[in-house]
Amino acid sequence: KNLNLPENLQTKVTGFLTYTESFLESQTELKSFLDIISPSLRQEVVQYIFSETLKFNPIFKDQPLLIDYLTKKLVTEIHMPEDQVITQGETGTNIYFIAKGE
């Protein structure tokens, strides 16, 4: 309100901040949980979460060994809306799976 932004822009900013706060809160909860459990249990939980996501991707259909391998290698990254993660046309060195967004 101090910036005297138009109401529609204020609504967009508020929506962005609400989304960001909610998303970060859930990710922080997961990270805190994973930090307090043993490394072997953490690996098991993370592997389950990732494998449940990957098995619904047509590329990995009927590929349990590949899914198992990938889930042991995956690293979670958190990006905010409008963050540029990759650029079309650039040579890639990583595979990205988008859990939420586009």
Comparing 16 with 40, the larger pLDDT belongs to 40
**In angstroms, rounded to a whole number, what is the distance separating the alpha carbons of residues 81 and 102?**
9
Q: Do residues 4 and 52 share a domain?
A: no
- Digit-coded pLDDT (tens) for 35-81: 899 989 988 998 888 888 888 889 998 899 999 999 888 877 777 77
pTM of full prediction above 0.85: no
| SS3 (DSSP) at 70 | helix
Q: Do residues 72 and 94 share a domain?
A: yes
CB 50 within 8 A of CB 70: yes
The count of domains in the chain is 2
Give ∠ CA 33-100-14 in degrees, rounded to 5.
Answer: 90
Average per-residue pLDDT for the chain:
84
CB 34 within 8 A of CB 75: no
